[in-house]
Amino acid sequence: MANIERRSIGVDLAAFKFEGRSAGMQSLGGYAAVYYDGTEGTQYRMGQIVERIMPGAFSRAMKEGQNIVCLFNHDSNMILGRRSAKTLRLADDDRGFRYTVDTPNTSYGRDLVEMVSRGDVKGSSFQFAVNGPAGESWRSEGDTMIRELRDLNMYDVSPVVSPAYTGTTLGLRHLAEWAESRQMGADDVKKLLDQATVCGFSVDYEVPMEESPSDTMSGGMGMDMYRKRLALLEMEARI
């Protein structure tokens, strides 16, 4: 099952706003995500973890025509538009992932228009899953862990009441898979693990030490143990 994650974008980067009218419906739009361009404002900080959405991360999803929907506050009961119905239009440009939705003539659709007019709803968010180990990379720079997202599957975009960045649950299972696919040495895995602990990850369960001569690495812990510990780490990051 895909490890679905959620990210929000604040109004300082790209406000969700009126785009005009289409076929008698009020159109609203904005950026669900922006690409990292080397500036602090285009990366997400969660404690000592920095996450960057790299240019092209949505290209495959767009080419495949993934049936992305637009929801209000990520509530599946409040659908605003759908790509396949052409009530949701998407664009992958140099800045990031942009969307425009024709709001429905429903109670919550009219409510949304009113709340945007009043300034109560200003930001956007999106839900995604990394497309396998090659869809992301991890590395450490000093006391900071860098996560670069390079290939994402998209599920929904959403105007949200609270656009401040919310990491929700950032699982490190992908980190374990990525480390294994790159055949990382024990020292590198240990460094990532130590950084994760420093960054505020909590260990839900400590795997007992079980070593054999064939899998014992420097530092007294086998690679399998590192992978198991990485798979058990997760962070609730809310800024």
pTM (2 d.p.): 0.69
Contact 146, 52 (CB under 8 A): yes
Give the separation between CA 125 and CA 82, rounded to whole angstroms: 16
d(CA 109, CA 85): 16
One domain, residues 56 and 132: yes
Q: Which of 122, 148, 168 is the last residue of a domain?
A: 168
Residues 75 and 183 in one domain: no
Residue 60, classified by CB atoms within 10 Å of its CB into exposed (0-12), middle (13-18) or buried (19+), is middle
On whether both 71 and 113 belong to a single domain, the answer is: yes
Q: Are residues 91 and 157 in the same domain?
A: yes
* Structural domain ending residue among the three candidates 151, 168, 185: 168
**pLDDT on residue 193:** 64
What is the pLDDT tens value at each position of the chain, 239 positions in all? 567 888 877 655 556 677 766 555 788 888 888 899 998 888 887 767 788 999 999 999 999 999 999 999 899 999 999 999 999 999 999 989 999 999 999 999 999 988 888 888 878 889 999 998 889 988 878 778 888 999 999 999 998 876 544 433 344 455 555 566 666 666 666 666 666 655 554 433 233 333 333 343 344 445 555 555 554 444 333 33
Both structure tokens of 182: 């790159």
Q: Clarify whether residues 135 and 33 are in a common domain.
A: yes
51 and 35 in a common domain? yes
Closest CA to 127 of 169, 155, 102, 99: 155
Predicted local confidence at residue 169, as pLDDT: 35
Kindly state whether residues 108 and 180 are assigned to the same domain.
no
Instruction: Tell which of 148, 168, 188 closes a domain.
Output: 168
Token pair of 204, please?
A: 């839900």
Per-residue pLDDT, 79:
96
Domain extent at residue 17: 5-168
Question: What are the pLDDT digits (tens) for 48-72?
Answer: 778 899 999 999 999 999 999 999 9
Number of domains in the chain: 2
